[in-house]
Amino acid sequence: MARITNDGYKVKKKNRVERGGSQIPLIINAFNDKKEIAELTINPLVNADSEEWAPENYIQNAPHFDNEFVFGLEEFIRKQASFYVANGYRIIKKQNDHDVVASLSAKLFCTDTDIKIDKDSLGEMLVSDYFAKFYKVPYDKLAVLGGPCHAEEVALERLSYLSIACQNTDSAKCFANIFRSHFVRTSVTNDVVGVEYASVLKNVYAIVSGICHGLKYGDNFQAILMSNSIIEMNRFINAVKPISRNICDSVYLGDLLVTAYSRFSRNRIFGTMIGKGYSVKTAQVEMEMIAEGYFGTKCIKEINETYKVDMPILDTVYSILYERKSPAATIRKLTESFK
């Protein structure tokens, strides 16, 4: 942690104005070099009984400039899970409405909000389409990261593989070079749509894997479940974007397997809780993490109303999560359709 007494601003007439001597660059270098600086950076023992490191003790509170606020909000939105992104553009358009500012956190973290998104303007839009339309980012500058690459293992510098999807191959290679390291291997593809849909669907299938785990189904059945899941994923992606792709590539199959099997997988944990008898709401509250597959299930279900692909696994997860069907009975019925 760092004790910051000068972040490059000072309070003047209740506004933050720039000043010299910011400690931020020094702190960043200390963190990157993993060094401690006396009175500045340290590995402190923080507990509920100690308020020594409370930031208000060192930085005087004052309203931020509007441009600081907007920049911070836009950066924050870009880092959120995809189902929160859609509200961001509408919030920023209302940045001058001070009545909105007080409730921003609620808007960002609630999908049922009074800042509604016009379905006709958004349609069934992928995140890449959203940034192209509302932020005017050219498609050849938009890249999608996929593959079996849990952040926890990347942080531990364990060997991981990333696939970068971009319509422009040169841009994809540029992004790949940025992310490549001694413990991250990279590859490129132009299948942006396929990678984005695979990234949504693998979370759905991880939830059903967790549900089956909670219901005490064994490894033998999990293998059958994943085999059928990748077949179902392939059917759907080919219906939406019929191009030549190998569904067994790591960005599709590999990502599915690690998300469905890993102990780090939030979606598998969420599904396991459902299989053990937790309600959806209770599981969401107790996890204190986001299981993207919950929202992805409804999203793909609605999109499939157009394509009408046979997706019994997706339908099973939807009926459990949104129609409150019995997990045990619904999974039992699903098993009868497998071979």
Residues of the chain with pLDDT under 70: 1-3, 14, 34, 39, 41-124
CA dihedral for 228, 233, 239, 244, sign (positive or negative): negative
Q: Tell me how far apart the alpha carbons of residues 35 and 284 are, in angstroms, rounded to a whole number.
A: 38
The pLDDT value given to residue 263: 85
The pLDDT value given to residue 173: 94
The pLDDT value given to residue 108: 35
User: Which tokens is 273 given?
Assistant: 């809780």
Packing angle, helices 312-321 and 292-307, rounded to 10: 130
The pLDDT value given to residue 59: 45
Q: Which CATH number fits domain 195-335: 1.20.1080.10, 1.10.645.10, 1.10.1040.10, 3.40.50.1220?
A: 1.10.1040.10
- Among the listed residues 14, 202, 298, 325, the single catalytic one is 202
- Give the domain ranges of the chain: 9-57, 66-117, 195-335
Contact between residue 125 and residue 85 where contact means Cβ atoms under 8 Å apart? no
The pLDDT value given to residue 318: 98
The pLDDT value given to residue 303: 92
The pLDDT value given to residue 81: 57
- C-alpha distances (whole Å) from 16 to each of 11, 66, 177 are 5, 11, 39
pTM, rounded to two decimals: 0.70
Contact between residue 126 and residue 196 where contact means Cβ atoms under 8 Å apart? yes
Tell me whether residue 202 is one of the annotated catalytic residues.
yes
The pLDDT value given to residue 278: 95
